Amino acid sequence: MNQTQTPQIFILTGIPGLEYAHPWFSIPVLIMYVLALVGNFITAFVILSDEKLHKPMYLLLVCLAVIEMLLTTTTTPKILSIFWLDSREIGFTACLTQLFFIHSLSMAVSAIMLAMSFDRYVAICLPLRYNSILKNPTIAKIGILAIVRGSILVGPEPFFAQRLSYCRTNVIAHTYCEHMAVVKIACSNTSLSRAYGLTVALMVIAVDMIFITASYCAIGRAVYRLSSKEARQKALNTCGPHICVILVGYGLAVFSFLSHRLGHNIPVYVHIILANLYILIPPMSNPLIYGARIKEIQEKIVSIFCKKTFKGARRPL
C-alpha cells in the first residue's frame, strides 16, 4: 500500500489461517442467512396481516424482525462474496458505512429487547394499566427511538475512523468492517476512537441489561405472589421466548465483545468466527423461538399454509 493517510480500499482477509475452508464455511453461513431472512419476513408478515395480532408485544416483534433482517444483510452478502468469489476489496467509504450500520443496528436490537422486557413487566405487574401505558403509537415511537439512539451513539465512530492515518496497511483481518478491526490497523493515535467505542458499547450493554434484569426481578416477585399455579405458569410462559432471545443475543454479544478486547491469547480466527455467529445466530434463531413458543403466531402460520394447500387441492385440473 502507498504511504497515504486515507486508502481508497480496504482488503478483508476473511478468516485468517482458514482460507482453505472458506467454501465450507459458506454453507452454514448461507443456510443461516436464508433462515434469518425467511423466518423474520414470515414473522413480520403474519403479525402485520392479522389485526388481532396488532398488539404491543407483537408489534415489537415486527420491529425486531425488520432490524435483524437489515443487520444481517449489512454483512452476510459481503462475507459470502469473500468465501465464494475471493472478492476481498471494499471501498473506504463503503467500509465505514458498513461499520456504522452494523453497530447502530446492533444497539437498536438491544433497545427493542429492553422495550420487550418493559412490555412483559407492565403486562404482569401492572395489567390494569397495560392498555393505557403501551399503545400502538407508543410502539412505533419506541422503534424510531431505538434507531435514533443507535445512530447518534455510533455516529462518531466512523468519523473518528475516517480521521485516522492508515499508513502501514489496508488489510483488515476480518470478514466485515467491525470497528475495532478497522481501528487496529491505523498507524496514528487511536486512543480516542478506542475509548469512545469501548465506552459506548459498555454503556449500552450495561444499561440495557441492568434495566432488563430489574424488569424480570420485578416480574419474578409478582409471579411468586400469584396464588394460582396455573396463573404463575401462564405468566412465565409469556416471558419464556423473550428470555431465550435475551440469552442468545446478549450471550453471544458479551462473549464476542470480551474475547475481542480482553482475550489477547485467543487466535484471531476464533474472534472472527464469534463475530460472524453474533451477526447470524440471533436473527436466525429469534423467529424460531417465537414461532415455537407463541401460540397465536403458530396458529396464524398454520392457517395461512393450510388455506393455500386447500385452495391448491381444490383447483380444477
Residue 294 to residue 84: CA distance in whole angstroms: 38
pTM, entire model? 0.85
Architecture of domain 9-312: Up-down Bundle (1.20)
Ramachandran area for residue 125 (φ above 0: left; ψ -120 to 50: alpha; else beta): alpha
Q: Which three cell numbers stand for residue 234?
A: 401462564
Cβ(71)–Cβ(106) under 8 Å?
Answer: yes
Q: What percent of the chain has pLDDT over 90?
A: 21
Query: Over the stretch 261-272, which tens digit does the pLDDT of each residue have?
Result: 665 677 778 888
For 275, half-sphere exposure in the C-beta direction (CA atoms, 13 angstrom radius) is 26
Query: Over the stretch 4-56, which tens digit does the pLDDT of each residue have?
Result: 467 788 999 888 888 888 899 999 999 999 999 998 998 888 888 878 878 88
Q: Pick 313 or 205 by higher pLDDT.
A: 205
Cα separations in angstroms, 87 against 119, 141, 175, 202: 44, 40, 11, 33
Query: Over the stretch 63-109, which tens digit does the pLDDT of each residue have?
Result: 999 999 999 999 999 999 999 988 889 999 999 999 999 999 989 99
Residue 27 to residue 30: CA distance in whole angstroms: 5
Residue 9: Cβ-neighbour burial (10 angstroms; 0-12, 13-18, 19+)? middle
Q: Which three cell numbers stand for residue 247?
A: 440469552
Query: Over the stretch 197-230, which tens digit does the pLDDT of each residue have?
Result: 888 888 888 888 889 889 888 888 887 777 777 7
3-state secondary structure the chain: CCCCCCCCEEEECCCCCCHHHHHHHHHHHHHHHHHHHHHHHHHHHHHHHCHHHCCHHHHHHHHHHHHHHHHHHCCHHHHHHHHHHCCCEEEHHHHHHHHHHHHHHHHHHHHHHHHHHHHHHHHHHCHHHHHHHCCHHHHHHHHHHHHHHHHHHHCHHHHHHHCCCCCCCCEECCCCCCHHHHHHCCCCCCHHHHHHHHHHHHHHHHHHHHHHHHHHHHHHHHHHHCCCHHHHHHHHHHHHHHHHHHHHHHHHHHHHHHHHHCCCCCCHHHHHHHHHHHHHHHHHHHHHHHHHHCHHHHHHHHHHHHHHHHHHHHCCC
| Confidence at residue 253, expressed as pLDDT on a 0 to 100 scale | 72
* Residue 317 pLDDT grade (very low, low, confident, very high; cuts 50, 70, 90): very low
| Confidence at residue 205, expressed as pLDDT on a 0 to 100 scale | 81
- Residue 242 reports pLDDT greater than 80: no
- Mean pLDDT rounded to a whole number for the chain: 82
The arrangement of strands across the sheet holding 9-12 comes to 89-91, 9-12, 171-172
